Amino acid sequence: MIQDNTKYESNVKNISILGCGWFGLALAKKLIGLNYAVKGSTTSQDKLTMLEAENIQPFLVDFTAESVKADPAFFEADTLFICIPPKRNSTELPDYPNKINSILTFAKDKSKHVVLISSTSVYADENKTVNETSKPNPDTDSGRVVLAAEILFKELFPENCTVIRFAGLIGPDRNPGRFFAGKNNIPNGLAPVNLIHQTDAVGIAVKLLEKQAFGRTYNACSPNHPAKMDFYTYAAKTTGLVVPDFISEKKDWKIVESINVPEFLGYEFEVVI
């Protein structure tokens, strides 16, 4: 399909989003509102109509650790966002890096810029503050496969590797008040939280495009880090849920900060955690 791109002035106005899930769809909708041309992928035939209804050009993309089945036109973009989180507690978890590798190999020489959505789970709870200069040392299975995917990305795109590491995502349909509601004797109540609202997650991705600040790793986490017991107690109260009970202790924690988001994006957070 030949598209009329005359109304798109920037050289990063043609965007492909692999994985239109909770974050990817929110990003796509925001970009459509900003007059970007957006292609969106899904693995479900049923979801194609929904994407089209949002003015997102829909593509069916199936991928495994060995191959990718897709129309190559989907990957022909100024910027490709890969928004495919690993499936936790799944037998598919070990295959995650190879799936990302398949996608990256397919996209190479088609996408001008590639942005991998990653996670701050690459940092262990080592009782300290971490930023983009800190050496990742994941202490969970999901953190380890996410870091392995980042490493593969850097090997394939050594000069243009852009990674956004999201902290815990909250927002629409992800009410944090429900997480611990009604539970008792929850450990580590004084540990700081590392979270980001969907509004700011999308905002950082948009700012990256506006600034064309590719080729770096960005920790995307709210600069506010209240204690777990304070944050989740308040979240439960404000949504009418049973208030949880925490143990007042501080063990196995980290504070995720960013030096690259303020320096290269100049992004100002909208939602206070």
Q: What is the pLDDT of residues 49-80, one digit of tens each?
A: 999 999 999 999 988 778 888 899 999 999 99
* Average pLDDT per block of 10 residues along the chain, 273 residues long: 37 88 97 97 92 96 85 95 86 88 91 96 97 96 96 90 97 94 96 98 98 97 98 96 97 97 97 93
Residue 203 CA, chain-centre distance (Å), reads 12
Global pTM? 0.92
Backbone angles phi, psi at 158, to 5 degrees: -65, -25
Paired tokens of 68? 């990718």
Q: What is the pLDDT of residue 6?
A: 35
Closest by Cα among 254, 257, 126, 244 to 192? 254
**Contact status, residue 9 vs residue 68, Cβ threshold 8 Å:** no
Cβ atoms < 10 Å from Cβ of 97: 21
CA angle 208, 262, 26 (to 5 degrees): 40
Domains of the chain, CATH where assigned: 14-171+194-225+254-265 (3.40.50.720)
- Residue 93, class by beta-carbon neighbours within 10 Å (0-12 exposed, 13-18 middle, 19+ buried)? middle
Phi/psi-derived region of residue 89, left when phi > 0, alpha when psi is between -120 and 50, beta in every other case: left
Q: HSE (CB half, 13 Å, CA atoms) of 152? A: 21
Calculated CA dihedral for residues 67, 69, 72, 75, nearest 10 degrees: -70
